[in-house]
Chain A
């Protein structure tokens, strides 16, 4: 028995195999410091992976980082395009048949099942654009694909397409809520349409832009099915973010919390270990969405409190 109350049982290899035991602790006998150390060790194994049979090979931290990176990259793609599309619809295509057609199309896109976007991403981004890039930039390495396989960038693009309708619709509604008298008041003071948009309308639509972003993130985090087609993996051989320049490697495959839930719950050989891990991954995923929403809410309150800049 160790001084800290922890026992190590030395078992023969055959016994250990038979008993399924790798380590054993008398947890009730642990001192406070020992408990802390034990807790820290389990937390480390949870995050980075441990050597117990139940420990996820890589831990859940890469999955958390992968999810976060994916969502942020997707936001960087979808928000400018979505806001620009909403502005165009509101300001320039508001009347007439084309505006109605585009609005109808955006509405229907929002109802398309996410797996369909996965197929689109696989065909268009991975095989189409990715394959083309490989033939152009990495012809020497073919047939080993660089861009022509699932990866973070293609998954982010796929999710951007998936969330575009909700961003366009939300931002356009936000713009439509601003009374037309504001727009006319600005025009009557000699502002051009562009100046009115930039100085008056877009600043007032910021809460809507923020809501659009929250909705986009919520939809993107929940969409696991399309990711399976465009780059999510159980174990990423190399993380898409690391210390090597250029730090973000958008062509690399990645792991994702949503996929970890699926993987642990259904694929894990040991249900007693896998199902709780799936639950914990799911909890982590929900917590991530909550944290992102709370952050967006804080930013939103700051935006509202501040007088609009000119």
Chain B
């Protein structure tokens, strides 16, 4: 294992999470793909009903970290995980909770909007149908989810139209509605605005700020302005190591660690 040329311990601001509940927590979480170690002993707390931004350069392990939290890395061949991911005290990595149950409680939104080739309605209802719900029981939660992402007024009259007919911005909001319909405790968002134009991107940020009061959100992004605009807390990750966790304002203006300062001021690398 290559030793980094910086201090690889994590610095967490004092009393940072004193007045918030913690929804999800990792303990010494490490991840390997084949022989390559991607994540190094990450200890991260995700506060409930807040937005935590995970920032860091491309390839630093943001996506891999997120995919540990809903066990999606296990779909990749050659992956090995060590450590704990605790949701309400239960370790998600140990098989006490079935993996599909984990993914219902920890939802995920991907960088590129990629709706299923189904109607708008059926996209949102997809996860609920897996629970065995029938159409009569679906209408209300589907409407709720679409209202939560401010899509209801735009699509209420064409719920049976194919989801492909929506604009990319609408498609991404549909993807969020799809995840929200299952009422997850934590919502993982992996560069959700990566494929959107600036206008849709701002629209999405408004939405995130509202959703952040509904469930815990982990927002992985390399767009620092976006992180600064929407997140309550920010975690800086570099080279698979968690460097600093702080409230967003402090992390961007007065970081505790030199590496963080270099990155947020653009002197990184």
Q: Which of A188, A191, A199, A310 has the most CB of B within 10 A?
A: A188
The answer to whether B117 touches A189, judged by C-beta atoms less than 8 angstroms apart, is: no
Within the assembled complex, what's the spacing in Å between the Cα atoms of A203 and B118? 11
* B-contacting residues, A14-67, CB 8 Å: none
Closest CB in chain A relative to B158 CB, distance in Å: 12
The answer to whether A190 touches B116, judged by C-beta atoms less than 8 angstroms apart, is: no
Partner of B114, one of A182, A307, A308: A182
Within the assembled complex, what's the spacing in Å between the Cα atoms of A192 and B122? 18
Chain B residues with CB below 8 A from A195, complex form: 130
Partner of B104, one of A94, A95, A181, A190: A190
Q: How many residues of A contact B (CB 8 A)?
A: 23
Interface residue A280 (Cβ < 8 Å from any Cβ of B): no
Within the assembled complex, what's the spacing in Å between the Cα atoms of A192 and B71? 13
Interface residue A186 (Cβ < 8 Å from any Cβ of B): yes
Closest partner residue, chain A, to B178 (CB atom): A189
Chain A residues with CB below 8 A from B160, complex form: 307
Closest CB in chain B relative to A180 CB, distance in Å: 9
A189 touching B70 in the complex, CB below 8 Å, given contacts A181-B112, A181-B114, A200-B116: no
Closest CB in chain A relative to B111 CB, distance in Å: 9
Interface size class of B (residues with CB under 8 A): 20 to 34
Chain A residues with CB below 8 A from B108, complex form: 188
Interface residue A184 (Cβ < 8 Å from any Cβ of B): yes
Within the assembled complex, what's the spacing in Å between the Cα atoms of A200 and B100? 16
Closest partner residue, chain B, to A304 (CB atom): B117
Interface residue B208 (Cβ < 8 Å from any Cβ of A): no
Chain A residues with CB below 8 A from B118, complex form: 307-308, 310
Within the assembled complex, what's the spacing in Å between the Cα atoms of A196 and B226? 33
Closest CB in chain A relative to B184 CB, distance in Å: 9
Chain B residues with CB below 8 A from A182, complex form: 114, 116
Interface residue A173 (Cβ < 8 Å from any Cβ of B): no
Within the assembled complex, what's the spacing in Å between the Cα atoms of A258 and B29? 66
Chain A residues with CB below 8 A from B114, complex form: 179, 181-182, 185
Interface residue B107 (Cβ < 8 Å from any Cβ of A): yes
Interface residue A204 (Cβ < 8 Å from any Cβ of B): yes
The answer to whether A191 touches B162, judged by C-beta atoms less than 8 angstroms apart, is: no
Interface residue B11 (Cβ < 8 Å from any Cβ of A): no
A-B contact pairs, 5 of them (CB 8 A): A186-B126, A191-B127, A308-B118, A310-B122, A310-B125
Additional A-B contacts beyond A190-B130, A310-B122 (13; CB < 8 A): A94-B77, A179-B114, A184-B72, A184-B75, A185-B178, A186-B116, A188-B107, A189-B126, A190-B101, A190-B127, A190-B182, A191-B100, A200-B116
Which residues in B have some Cβ–Cβ distance to A below 8 Å? 70, 72, 75, 77, 100-101, 103-104, 107-108, 110, 112, 114, 116-119, 122, 125-127, 129-131, 160, 162, 175, 178-179, 182
